[in-house]
Structure 1
């Protein structure tokens, strides 16, 4: 950095490349994660803290890995520990065309001389592996040197993969911030954040100073320094007050983003305030009910009436459909589509994944059988010739119901008369994306399409009013007749053979099952990795045990046509067991599926597990969910799985999740887009300023509609919209 810039200092609005250690390559990596300026990086808060002040001996951690200072809960990768010892050896090991580094660490000698009269007791050791040429480790790990290892310990194999290695001494006995994976070395992240905190030319506070003062929010810089420490090093874990200070500001930015998106969407629709009236058509709805082949619940019928009344008006409908897993949201959406098609207009159904789009295509076939017309599918995997033909029929109005993924948002997708947009699983789509599709109606008849969005996550009324305003909402609060709650049980992974026996009996009865694995393939660089954790390996094993024609596989790395073929085989019963990753979390509706097995269940969040078990028990037969887990479970993991076994209602599951994980996580519930409804706000304890957030947003919208005078807030909104994939109505 030139001397003049060093004297000027680093501003939090500067490009992140201004920070030490971050060059063009690292800057590009960070930008892919939404981090483009210094303030973005500083607001990347620690996800946990390693307390290294009281490291434990090799013998202690091998005997009780979960004891001692809390370095994060144990999971399938082992307990995260800090081990002190001495280096026994450090060697380079040839491995698969590369070289790895292995360091063996043991406890120091006790000091007592060996008389030689008794056999020596084998000393406990831990092998630390780095599956690359870790030159810095090799240069420091000299035999006899006292050292610390920090990482996850596989007790059974007495092994740690890629731990942090440091020489033991006063400088190493610290509390250290731990950051989310950003694609660059964590040491670089710590150094860069320290430089930013040492040279702030204006703190990047997303909350405008006037509002922060009114709400008596504590000063930001002191809290930032307390949480990040000096280069990620702290004298002790940060005080609750400092964490709460930052958490409150993140919560305010999250709430503001929800409200701002709603206000901006209203402005975007000005000048096109009329929609095409779609009269309610009772004969068309009656034919659809007959095609569906099952009786609708009272709440489904009520939602259909509410939506139908909105569609019949020239005021553009902006309605949210809320319904827990298995309450029949798809049937309600098809009824809305039937009303639109009966009026001669087009419907666009936007799904976040190709698997869900294919599911909708199948679900819409009864609608088109009774209404006539064509169905169309638009995905990013379409071949050029097929895509051109499909887009031509959409533009002419031949295709009445268009189902698609993000590919529907492309500029070359044009509609003749788009009157209704349905956005399912809309928490995975940003506000701008939803508005982009809704605006396509202007290219046809010049009217603004009706918009119906769907959410499966409940939200308390206090926050709903603040974040969504008076948005009309239809709620599905009962399950279809004859659908009992899914029976949920925990199951130790050591008894997997019994699970496979159960799968064989289930297939013999003609039923179907899902098997969810935590990852796609084996990690060749991780010696802790159990191959059977991988979906590809599990599918091969089940194919050998049950028959290859019985098992099919689907995961996110497959080509779209391969995924579609696997899903079709499962839905049609050509395959009875579908092995996959969490790509099956949403949207798959196979009434014959009666069992879902979630391997490594302790690795998943409660809301995600609740979504996955909603894939079964959707037909006449009861459903069962087996939560397969490694042993021993940490106390927190045991509580979470027990809660899911006890609870079946989505609102109760969401509340249990909040109570178990607490509202104090600075990193939020997730670090990326497809997370739960709220990352930083606690629905159980909404802050007092939530009642004033709409007025604040409206005042800023009137005085600074582009937030040009509030650049810190502008950046916070941009990041929040990406990070939380705002879960409310886009119009």
Structure 2
């Protein structure tokens, strides 16, 4: 292939897929629906796994859970219709072992193929069945006795499905696209010295190895995702995401922000508090104070466990803004959480003469008009609310600090919308924008923070206030439910309150979980005359708020709820948390739910109620919950067990869907990614732009970044 340089290479990479034989308008439309529009998109449509059809395994040597290829003859065929049509085919081989193939979807022609004595070659993953090993819906070929049927000479890639395009057709199209790969020099964007230092191949070699593994390829490494070719691709993909976030940060820093330096009001608040700040709170406040004093916008994430005191630190930051004659806003994802902040801030700030305003969806009519006027005139110095703060018609006189709580519940565009309230609608480098402080009670593992929050400075409040007694955590089989009902009765007799958390709203035949509705009815009957309330996600917001408020005010003894209470109400009198079907929840969610109790002086307990038998993963989760209360330790374990997808919210959807990178497996690459990213942004911004475009797509996704 002739050498291609500069523009020629870029043009080739961005050639439309309609340039490939067999890609007409209808096929192109189906590919485009999956985001596949150029040759480069197909090069980067990487296999999700491999099938090893290079050898045959005797049936006797097959292992449950390990995919393999084998050959044998049909010994028996049975069609059944007990619950639904099923076809069972017994296959035996020279090792005198038998395996059953099971099909639920089949045609009459398939049944006819499986005549007794027919020779069949199959590929699939065996699992234990009623009569030994079986494979459900294997891929197979019926062979003639004379058919030599050569074995494959390399691993077969298996690609993510594209609706309307069969796997064979997709593999053919990707092969055609690979035939047009430019030469090494035209394709490569990473420095040669870095690749040599890390012993990584060129991009061209890596793509060909991953799509077309040679015969001598390390099969185990490829299947585990740790082959040098995959590491090469993971490095560039991580770099692309890092660069896109860093460019977002640079664009933000190009704006100006008010330099806020006066500490007198913050100091008055600190001295008036009925408790002393922890060392971690002081450290994080010092970091925020230094940021606020600069004329460029602060972009800081404060993470810390439930109860670590993030709100106090945010209130002190707000006092720096108010001291300068400006405004601060605090936005929370739910009315209940926002109202909790409102109550705290009013208790702390109003004695200092600071006016705290409330703006949420339920504030309507004249009351809303009055609040909007106070916000616009600047009389409202601190404004607390939900996403209502971002609506049209809300205009601040001089917003200098935007605080967002539980930031993973908001998308990046929502956060930017609040920022733009401070810019007064102005855009461009001349706009003066507020400082941004975002908070989360979901501790984030260091590796995940490095990758997911490269546009933010990260602070951790990793110390709980003194006097907080750890919640005693036990795991019990659901056979012990009657004991728990009595335990609730005893706790409530002592004037305490309890939570009972369910994972579903309605009963389901398919999922074995007690539904909140039926649990509420059962417990109301068993615990009469105790007062039992119910909260779930399908209730109207005002009904949900009313029930939560009744629980907070002590008008209910037991609250039966779905996981909607994971982030929310603070009830110091609640000392018992029961989590039903705890094996179904992730560690981060279990930890958040446990954080609802242990907020008062009384010793508190959390019971993880599970339905045996437990999977290995569920057992590890429950054991981790019993062993530690440290949210950062739990977050690291959660990342190890589940990966990043569920630990990140709407803002980082791209990170959860990496094509090849894995933040746990490839964590050791992140320091290299950070160093190279800074170098490229400083010395080769055009190259940085091309890397982002290759992996992340057009700038639109991170626009206003």
Fold equivalence (TM over 0.5): yes
Larger radius of gyration: 2
Q: Greater RCO between the two (CA within 8 Å, min separation 6)?
A: 1
* Residue aligning to 2:70: none
2:241 aligned with 1:257 = yes
| Aligned alpha-carbon RMSD (Å) | 5.5
Distance 1:669 1:107, change over 3 A: same
CA-CA distance at 1:439 after TM superposition: 3.3
Give the distance between the partners of 1:204 and 1:492, measured in 2 at CA.
61
Map Cα deviations across residues 59-107 of structure 1 (whole Å, 9 max, x no partner).
xx9xxxxx81258xxxxxxxxxxxx99774465x9xxxxxxx8124557
* Residue aligning to 1:77: none
CA-CA distance at 1:620 after TM superposition: 1.2
* Residue aligning to 1:272: 256
Q: What are the equivalent positions in structure 2 for 1:602-613 lying under 5 Å apart?
A: 602-613=583-594
Does the CA-based 8 Å contact 2:269-2:349 persist in structure 1?
Answer: no
* Residue aligning to 2:467: 482
Does the CA-based 8 Å contact 2:507-2:513 persist in structure 1?
Answer: yes
Give the distance between the partners of 2:553 and 2:232, measured in 1 at CA.
50
Give the distance between the partners of 1:240 and 1:382, measured in 2 at CA.
54
Aligned to 1:266, the other structure's residue is in SS state helix
Give the distance between the partners of 2:596 and 2:627, measured in 1 at CA.
18
Compare 676-685 and 388-397 and name the one that shifted more.
676-685
Unaligned runs of 5+ in 2: 1-10, 68-73, 93-98, 144-148, 657-661
Give the distance between the partners of 2:211 and 2:479, measured in 1 at CA.
41
**Aligned residue among 333, 341, 353 for 2:314:** 333
Distance 1:51 1:139, change over 3 A: same
Give the distance between the partners of 1:41 and 1:515, measured in 2 at CA.
49
Distance 1:444 1:426, change over 3 A: same
Does the CA-based 8 Å contact 1:520-1:535 persist in structure 2?
Answer: yes
* Residue aligning to 1:496: 481
2:173 aligned with 1:195 = yes
2:189 aligned with 1:210 = yes
Distance 1:297 1:273, change over 3 A: closer
Distance 1:108 1:520, change over 3 A: same
Give the distance between the partners of 1:143 and 1:696, measured in 2 at CA.
62
Give the distance between the partners of 1:394 and 1:107, measured in 2 at CA.
74
Map Cα deviations across residues 682-726 of structure 1 (whole Å, 9 max, x no partner).
486345623523333413774478x3686314418877x79xxxx
Does the CA-based 8 Å contact 1:607-1:653 persist in structure 2?
Answer: yes
Q: What are the equivalent positions in structure 2 for 1:311-330 lying under 5 Å apart?
A: 311=292, 316-330=297-311
CA-CA distance at 1:579 after TM superposition: 3.7
Give the distance between the partners of 1:561 and 1:689, measured in 2 at CA.
50
Does the CA-based 8 Å contact 2:88-2:103 persist in structure 1?
Answer: no
Aligned to 2:511, the other structure's residue is in SS state coil
Give the distance between the partners of 1:563 and 1:276, measured in 2 at CA.
40
CA-CA distance at 1:333 after TM superposition: 1.6
Distance 1:11 1:306, change over 3 A: closer
Give the distance between the partners of 1:516 and 1:642, measured in 2 at CA.
19
Unaligned runs of 5+ in 1: 1-7, 62-66, 72-83, 94-100, 111-123, 723-729
Does the CA-based 8 Å contact 2:80-2:87 persist in structure 1?
Answer: no
Distance 1:364 1:28, change over 3 A: farther
Distance 1:440 1:609, change over 3 A: same
Q: What are the equivalent positions in structure 2 for 1:531-550 lying under 5 Å apart?
A: 532=514, 534-546=515-527, 549-550=531-532
CA-CA distance at 1:141 after TM superposition: 6.6
CA-CA distance at 1:430 after TM superposition: 4.9
Give the distance between the partners of 2:364 and 2:75, measured in 1 at CA.
59
Aligned to 1:375, the other structure's residue is in SS state strand
Q: What are the equivalent positions in structure 2 for 1:538-577 lying under 5 Å apart?
A: 538-546=519-527, 549-555=531-537, 557-577=538-558
**Aligned residue among 691, 698, 721 for 2:681:** 698
* Residue aligning to 1:117: none
Give the distance between the partners of 1:593 and 1:179, measured in 2 at CA.
50
Q: What are the equivalent positions in structure 2 for 1:226-625 lying under 5 Å apart?
A: 238-240=222-224, 245-246=229-230, 249-250=233-234, 252-270=236-254, 272-281=256-265, 284-286=268-270, 289-290=273-274, 294-304=275-285, 306-308=287-289, 310-311=291-292, 316-341=297-322, 343-353=324-334, 356-367=337-348, 369-370=350-351, 371-378=353-360, 391-443=372-424, 447-455=432-440, 456-460=442-446, 468=454, 474-523=459-508, 527-530=509-512, 532=514, 534-546=515-527, 549-555=531-537, 557-625=538-606
Give the distance between the partners of 2:691 and 2:447, measured in 1 at CA.
32
Map Cα deviations across residues 25-58 of structure 1 (whole Å, 9 max, x no partner).
9679757xxx88786687576667799998999x
Map Cα deviations across residues 174-209 of structure 1 (whole Å, 9 max, x no partner).
9998888x9x7698578546633543455999x982
Aligned to 2:597, the other structure's residue is in SS state coil
Does the CA-based 8 Å contact 1:466-1:693 persist in structure 2?
Answer: no
**Aligned residue among 603, 610, 619 for 1:629:** 610
Does the CA-based 8 Å contact 1:102-1:127 persist in structure 2?
Answer: no
Q: How many residues align?
A: 644
Does the CA-based 8 Å contact 2:468-2:598 persist in structure 1?
Answer: yes
Give the distance between the partners of 2:306 and 2:259, measured in 1 at CA.
31
Map Cα deviations across residues 513-567 of structure 1 (whole Å, 9 max, x no partner).
33333344445xxx532252x4444444434433594122132x44433433333
Does the CA-based 8 Å contact 2:358-2:371 persist in structure 1?
Answer: yes
Give the distance between the partners of 1:703 and 1:329, measured in 2 at CA.
40
